[in-house]
Structure 1
Amino acid sequence: MWITEAANRELEQPVYQYYGKWPFRRVWGIQEFGSVLLSVGNLLAHWYGYNKIYMASLRSNAPNWFLHHLVYLNYVISLNGWFWSSIFHTRDTWITQCLDYFSAIAIVFCAMLLALTRSLNLYSTRRQLYLAVPVFLFYVWHVHYMIAIDFDFSWNMKVALTAGLTFSMSFLVWSAKHLLSARKRPHAIYSLMACLLGMAAGIFEVFDLPPKVYFFDAHAMWHAATIPIITLWYQFYCEDAHYDLGIPRKPSSFIKHHWESVTMALFQKYPNPLASHVLATDVLSRHVDADGRLHSIRLLLKTAGSGVPTWLQSLLKSREAYVIELSIVDPRSGTMETRTHNLSHRRFMSVEEIQTFSRSHEDDSCSTVDWGGGLDWHPGWKGWASAVKMAKGDSQRKVDYFEKVRRLFRDYNRIFIVNVDNVASTQMHQIRSSLRDQAVVLMGKNTMVRKAMKEVVAENPKLEAIVPCIRGNVGLVFTNGDLKTVRDLMVANRVQAAAKVGLVAQSNIHVPAGNTGIDPNKTTFFQALGISTKVVKGAIEIPNEVLLLKAGKKVGASEAALLNMLGLAPFTFGLTVVEVYDDGSLFSPSMLDITDDVLSKHLQAAIKNIASLSLAAKFPTVASAPHLMVNAYKKILSVGLACENYSFEAVDKIKEALKNPVAVAATSSSAAAPAAAAAAPAKVESESEEEMGMGLFD
């Protein structure tokens, strides 16, 4: 073979394969020295990446990461694979070939499993097993097929390429997604670069190039290209674990106090007015071990702050949580380590915080602190089942609520849109009780009401007029009874309330004159508000009534303090009717105050206006007809009086009255006498008694 190769070199001929293999120069009996050397390099790269990059940074926090066991498994399988790779390239036998091929395919399968677990966010161990078991069974079948049925090189290459492409594409998609998303993971650049470089290095495997200087062929060059890629992957695993566990990537912080003072302060920091979220603490156990270290276990009861989302509060059910704190104080080494983790809500997550306080090596008067720990999502089946159950319960409640809204809109034709600002739940219960059997009060989220109304509006388009009114803090009151009666029942239930900062004055607020009973040292407070006062009998007295706030103005801090000091409650809260709906008509609630007398008065005024307009326009109408007839009759009388030869009964009476007014007056007096006598019979009787001599003193 080497004689042939020497002749080919002299003739400048290319290197040929012998029995499907390239010729290599042996070093110390090693067949492919370059591949062996680079296989050992890959083995050392895995050892360095796992121990010096990954574990050196995470230390005891590593097991808390959900991918740690897969990273460790990949590390062990990779060490095994590169070990057998170096053995196979040292001596090419059937056994070493099988061990190299099957170890290599195991590395690819494990990497694919790790990539799918990361990209699919399989935090639960149970879900990871659902994916790992089929992959393991396929690997076992593949080994059995290659050994017992057919050692097919092309089939083995297809399986390896499929698993490798799955690995690369999974991480490529995941990396691009997290680099472009709002919650960016900067370390995804490591996985992106590693995938791209790995795919580029695969070119060496596709193109089987002849060895350079009979040592380094394309396969050896592929081994060389994977060494820096391995360190990129372990750097990615390290950064990703830090991100998921919430471990800050920063150096130790300095505290400008002695370590002894810091340690004592940590034990005495609760209760603390600056940490109101810690409700209570209790020491469960405390002892000193044989090495003089103080071990303590404390139980803390904490409550969540206002920043907890509503959806998370509904899942957690309670805003209070128990937290366990384990601490070890070593006076000899000058260190104190605390581990704090939650006892409550562990069905959804476990949170661990690690702090290490040490004496500063640079300055004895200072201390250093290192942080660790993080958030670990490992919801078990029971936790998710409970969450799903609650979600189903919420979904069923929404379905029932939607059905209730639709039923109310179908059953009732009259609706009040009411404002419920500052109405407490107790007052609302009283209002519901007073409206029982007459009206139904509906409260709920505006979005849910509008969504439920879509189906009803399709059936009854008149209800569309209500949709714009459903905004703000409003409710709906359904009734088929008398609108005014129901309105009066709602408005009657109002509660007096004290003044609070920010409330808008419903009417002018006056401070009454008189003795306030307040100590004279508060005089400057009244003066600041521009209220004149005097001191009478050791108390402040207001001589005249004072207008404190006008209607529509907001209550300030000083006004609220004064009104509360005087014991005045100028506000009344209750349901306020905004709009009224009646079978397709939407109108103001002031329309309900119109009575029959008001309608009659306005109708009479309208008739008078019509009659006046008709008379002025000389256009006869029903309203002006009586006036036209009276005016015509007056004109006829005027004509009859002016014409001596023209007469009729009514004119003759007027003419007679004008000729002899005295006789007419006498006639009128005689006609009015009987009526006057009938109107005063008692007086006539008393007069007759006096005439008969039956006086009081007779």
Structure 2
Amino acid sequence: MAIYTHHLPAWKREEVEQIKDLADKYALVGLVDVYGIPARQFQQIRRNLRSNAVVKVARNTLVEHSMNELGGHFVDLNGKVSEHSALIFANGNPFKLFKSLEQTKTKRSAKAGEITPEDIVVPAGPTTFKPGPIVGELQQAGIPAAIDGGKVKIKETKTVVKAGEAINKKQADVLSKLGIKPMPVGLSLLAVCYEGDLYLPDVLSVDDEAYKAKITLAAQQAFNLAVNAAVPTACVGVTEAQIAKAVREARNLGVEASIYEKGVIELIISKAYRQANALKAI
């Protein structure tokens, strides 16, 4: 693949080699979106990740050169390179990396024109604002407001902007005044190569508790199926449950058919006693 970079100046060639060396050193190679992260916070994030990952900012063309030279699924990362992307190198697995990056995110105020990743909901209730132009500003932003007890009150809970929609200037200004910070700040994983495969956020975004609940339900259903279908398995507890079920069914059959066997006679007598009492009560 050297055909892609043999013409590069020395400093660019060195940059490409650095990227390739990092790709060889770490199990994961991915791209993160760094849009909207202030420079100071970005440096702090890099320092916090230093023991587990390396974040490297490089020109898009050099990233593409590097991925082309690495070949395989690394080339697929080129389709995710953007104006605000940076490279990330880490060990572990992509699911843990995604989760760790999500947990480090904070929130910031929205800017006009930005797309919100989630519904922005303004709750009903009193505010700290005194009567004034703010009432009109709230209403222009689609938030029903009125004066109540000398303070501005939001009359009803309102979804101001739905997920995937752009935030206009009036909405951005009002949300900032209300102290609502809807925009996440942090590294967002765009794609990652791991053991020859490419992973995207829609696959990596796993709700651990929901996933565990599904596994638990599947195990319970498989256990019940094995017991009810009398399928012998090595699963702990299945054989015991099958024997216990067979004993119960045999005992019930003995009672219903009045079969005088040990452990059944007492139940037959008890059943006859209950029936006699029921007849006596008529």
Provide the TM-score with structure 1 as the length reference.
Answer: 0.32
Q: Give yes or no for the alignment of 1:451 onto 2:65.
A: yes
Q: Quick check: 2:110–2:181 contact (8 Å CA) kept in 1?
A: yes
Indicate which of 39, 61, 66 corresponds to 1:425.
39
Find the partner of 2:263 among 653, 667, 671. Answer: 653
| Cα displacement (A) at 1:423 | 2.0
Structure 2 contact 29–89 (Cα < 8 Å) conserved: yes
Any conservation in 2 of the 1:497–1:570 contact (CA below 8 Å)? yes
Whether the aligned pair in 2 keeps the contact of 1:484 and 1:592 (CA below 8 Å) is: no
Per-residue displacement from partner, 1:518-538 (whole Å, max 9, x unpaired)?
Answer: 55245443443452322654x
- Code of the residue aligned with 1:589 in structure 2: it is L
Q: Does the CA-based 8 Å contact 2:118-2:162 persist in structure 1?
A: yes
In 2, Cα distance between equivalents of 1:586 and 1:592: 20
Amino acid in structure 2 at the alignment position of 1:549: V
Aligned to 1:517: 129
Scaled by the length of structure 2, what TM-score is found? Answer: 0.70
Could you say which residue in structure 2 is the equivalent of 1:590?
205
The answer to whether the 8 A contact 2:27-2:92 is kept is no
Aligned residues with identical type, % of pairs: 22
Between the aligned partners of 2:188 and 2:220, the Cα distance in structure 1 is 33
CA deviations 1:220-279 (Å, max 9, x no partner) are xxxxxxxxxxxxxxxxxxxxxxxxxxxxxxxxxxxxxxxxxxxxxxxxxxxxxxxxxxxx
Residue in structure 2 matched with residue 398 of structure 1 by the alignment: 12
| Contact preservation (8 Å) 2:33, 2:188 | yes
Amino acid at match of 1:532: A
Asked if the contact 2:30/2:77 (under 8 Å) is kept, the reply is no
Partner of 1:493: 104
Which residue pairs with 2:119 in the alignment?
508
Question: For 1:480 and 1:630, how far apart are their aligned partners in 2?
Answer: 49
CA offset digits 1:185-229 (Å, max 9, x no partner): xxxxxxxxxxxxxxxxxxxxxxxxxxxxxxxxxxxxxxxxxxxxx
Pick aligned residue for 1:532 from 145, 159, 164: 145
Matching of residues 328-477 of structure 1 within 5 Å: 395-457=9-71, 461=72, 463-464=74-75, 466-471=77-82, 473-477=84-88
Aligned AA (1:424): P
Alpha-carbon spacing, 1:600–1:553, altered in 2? closer, same or farther (3 Å): closer
Larger Rg: 1
Matches within 5 A, 1:609-620: 611=226, 615=229, 620=231
**C-alpha distance after superposition, 1:34-87 (max 9, x if no partner):** xxxxxxxxxxxxxxxxxxxxxxxxxxxxxxxxxxxxxxxxxxxxxxxxxxxxxx
Larger RCO of the pair (alpha carbons < 8 Å, separation 6+): 2
Residues of 2 paired with 1:577 and 1:609: CA distance?
40
Contact 2:141 2:174 in 1 (8 A): no
Aligned residue in 1 for 2:279: none
Say whether the 8 Å CA contact 1:510–1:547 is kept in structure 2: yes
- Partner Cα separation in structure 1 for residue 109 and residue 27 of structure 2: 38
Cα gap change, 1:595/1:442 in structure 2, threshold over 3 Å: closer, same or farther?
A: farther
Paired position in structure 1 for 2:160: 548
Q: 1:608 to 1:416 in 2, by over 3 A?
A: farther
- What is the CA deviation profile of residues 536-585 of structure 1, one whole-angstrom value per residue up to 9, with x for unaligned ones? 54x64444444322222211122123234445433232112234443234
CA contact (8 A) 1:410 1:456 kept: no
Residue equivalent to 1:41? none
Aligned partner of 2:181 among 547, 557, 569:
569
**CA distance in 1 between partners of 2:117 and 2:222 (Å):** 39
Q: What is the aligned partner in structure 2 of residue 160 from structure 1?
A: none
8 Å CA contact retained: 1:418, 1:578: yes
> What is the deviation of 1:510?
3.5
Amino acid at match of 1:433: R
Counterpart contact for 1:440–1:477, Cα < 8 Å: yes
Residue in structure 2 matching 1:481, options 92, 96, 103: 92
**CA distance in structure 1 between the aligned counterparts of 2:105 and 2:250, rounded to whole angstroms:** 66
Structure 1 match to 2:4:
none
Structure 1, unmatched stretches of 5+, are 1-393, 663-698
AA matched with 2:117: Q
- 1:398 deviates by 0.9
| SS in structure 1 at match of 2:19 | helix
CA contact (8 A) 2:94 2:204 kept: no
Answer yes or no: is the 8 Å Cα contact 1:405–1:452 preserved in 2. yes
Q: Which amino acid aligns with 1:445?
A: R
Cα distance, 1:501 vs structure 2: 1.0
RMSD value over aligned CA atoms? 3.9
Deviation at 1:506, TM superposition (A): 2.9
Contact in 2 for aligned 1:462/1:583 (Cα 8 Å): no
Query: Cα deviation per residue 1:89-138 (whole Å; 9 max; x = unaligned)?
Result: xxxxxxxxxxxxxxxxxxxxxxxxxxxxxxxxxxxxxxxxxxxxxxxxxx
Aligned mates of 2:91, 2:42 — CA distance in 1:
21
User: 2:64 touches 2:75 (CA, 8 Å); kept in 1?
Assistant: no
Q: CA deviation at 1:480?
A: 1.6
Distance 1:639 1:522 in 2: 78
Pairwise CA distance, 1:477: 1.9
Letter in 2 for 1:494: K
Q: Is the 8 A contact 1:418 1:475 kept in 2?
A: yes
Out of 559, 564, 582, the residue aligned to residue 171 of structure 2 is 559
| Amino acid paired to 2:268 | L
Cα contact 1:498–1:571 (8 A) shared by 2: yes
Contact map agreement 1:509 1:547 (CA 8 A) in 2 = yes
- 2:54 & 2:108 partners in 1: Cα distance? 26
Q: Aligned partners of 2:106, 2:248: CA distance in 1, in Å? A: 65
Shift of 1:433: 0.2
Does the CA contact (< 8 Å) of 2:135 and 2:145 recur in 1?
A: no
Q: Is the 8 A contact 2:98 2:205 kept in 1?
A: no
Q: Residues 506 and 552 of structure 1 are in contact (CA less than 8 Å); yes or no, is this contact kept in structure 2?
A: yes
Distance, in Å, in 1 between the alignment partners of 2:195 and 2:245 is: 47
Q: For residues 594 and 526 of structure 1, do their structure 2 counterparts lie closer, same or farther at Cα, with a shift above 3 Å needed?
A: closer
In the TM superposition, residue 434 of structure 1 has moved relative to its aligned partner by: 0.3
Contact 1:509/1:549 (<8 A) preserved: yes
Bigger share in helix: 1
CA distance in 2, matches of 1:540, 1:638: 71
Measured at CA, do residues 609 and 440 of structure 1 come closer, stay the same or move farther in structure 2, by a change above 3 Å?
Answer: farther
Q: CA deviation at 1:402?
A: 0.4
Rounded Cα–Cα distance in structure 2 between residues aligned with 1:635 and 1:554: 64
The number of equivalent residue pairs is 257
CA deviation vs aligned residue, 1:440-467 (integer Å, no higher than 9, x gap): 112223332222122222xxx3545544
Q: Which residue of 1 aligns with 2:219?
A: 604
Given that 1:497 and 1:571 are in contact with CA atoms closer than 8 Å, whether structure 2 keeps it comes out as: yes
CA spacing shift, 1:610–1:478, aligned 2, 3 Å: farther
CA distance in 2, matches of 1:595, 1:510: 25
* Aligned-partner residue type, residue 87 of structure 2: L
